[in-house]
Amino acid sequence: MILAGDIGGTKTVLAIYDESVEPFQLIRETVFKSRDFLQFDQILHQFLGDSNPVKIRAICLGVAGPIRHGQCKTTNLPWLLSENNLAKDFGVEKVRLLNDLEAAAYGMLFLQEDEMVSLNVETDLCVRPKGNIAVIAAGTGLGEAMLYWDGKAYIPMASEGGHADFAPQSDQEVALLRYLRAELGHVSYERILSGPGIYNIYRFLRDTGFADEPEWLRKKLSQGDKSAVIGEMGLAKKDPLCVEALSLFASIYGAEAGNLALKFFAVGGVFVGGGMAPKLLSALTNGAFMRGFTGKGRYANLMRTIPVHVALNSRAPLIGSAQYALSCFDISVS
């Protein structure tokens, strides 16, 4: 059995997969509220204690945070995870920690056609060209990763590219940068391409006079998840501020996805992951995203040849962790 995990600041998902059948099967999955636990070990003890006794052959965990020397200090939690400590404490020799976007990226390789939506109408969803793959995922923050094609296999590579400097491409985006810089100092892409980022865009539009904020919307925003409210009202076209916020979000998202494709030479495709993309799908498919993606001057023609897909399967990080364990530890189907 393979134990896979997707560890984030809000929730931790653990799953057991049976690798003795092909394709391997999900045996059990449990979602935990991360902040209810002082350390990750407590979650793992509870999960394994609740399970029927099984022989775990390998553990592979996608963790929201940088992995260095087999250890990770989680970004939004006071947790320290160590491959060596997990192996010793739980009696499992094969343990690997991945950055959460590395795990998600690896999981993209195993998506079925009905688990993806193509944003680039000039490419064929059924054709998967070999070559480097880029993955970008907006959620609580902005994650970016790469799958390097070495000619025989894909190798996941993490990055912290979401914290790179925001580079505006229009007068409106320059004004957005100035607005946020006055408040935040440094403005990264994550300040814009995330759940909190959508609200940052909305505030900019409201405060610079794009349109008036109606009282009913002000009340909704004060009572609920602000980014969810803006997304819902924007998709339903019930408020011009929300509609424009989604349009600007999609355009900048596409531009940064295109930046990633150029930096990684991702001719194998770009996958848009994370929890936000499926919820905002109609805002990403109306053209603004791809205009941002392809608007690369002399390289616009190349950009039009790169497949761009939205991943719909929320289990991609778990699948990626489990599949990486099979590959990394050369675990054969028995």
63-86 as b/e: b if 16+ CB within 10 A: bbbebeeebbebbebebebbbeeb
Spatial distance between the Cα atoms of 62 and 13, rounded to a whole number of angstroms:
10
Burial of 279 (0-12, 13-18, 19+ CB in 10 A): middle
Whether 270 and 303 have beta carbons less than 8 Å apart is answered as: no
Average of per-residue pLDDT across 272-277:
93
Domain ranges of the chain: 2-99, 112-312
Is 283 or 129 the better-scoring residue by pLDDT?
283
Which of 136, 165, 95 is CA-nearest to residue 325? 95
Which of 145, 72, 138, 75 is CA-nearest to residue 108? 145
DSSP for 62-102 reads: EESS-EETTEEE-SSSS-EEEHHHHHHHHT-SEEEEEEHHH
pLDDT band at 228 (very low <50, low <70, confident <90, very high): very high
How many residues does the structure list for the chain?
334
Is 126 or 103 the better-scoring residue by pLDDT?
103
Whether 110 and 319 have beta carbons less than 8 Å apart is answered as: yes
Residue 136 has pLDDT above 80, yes or no: yes
Kindly state the DSSP code that residue 268 receives in the 8-state scheme.
T
The Cα-based distances of 326 to 47, 69, 96, 181 in angstroms read 21, 21, 11, 45
Give the global pTM: 0.91
The type of residue at 63 is V
Cα-to-chain-centroid distance, residue 128: 20
Residue 168 has pLDDT above 70, yes or no: yes
CATH topology for 112-312 is Hexokinase; domain 1 (3.40.367)
Residue 150, pLDDT score: 96
Residue 51 has pLDDT above 90, yes or no: no
Tell me if residue 295 falls in helix, strand or coil: coil
pLDDT for 285-298, tens place per residue?
Answer: 999 999 999 999 99
CATH topology for 2-99 is Nucleotidyltransferase; domain 5 (3.30.420)
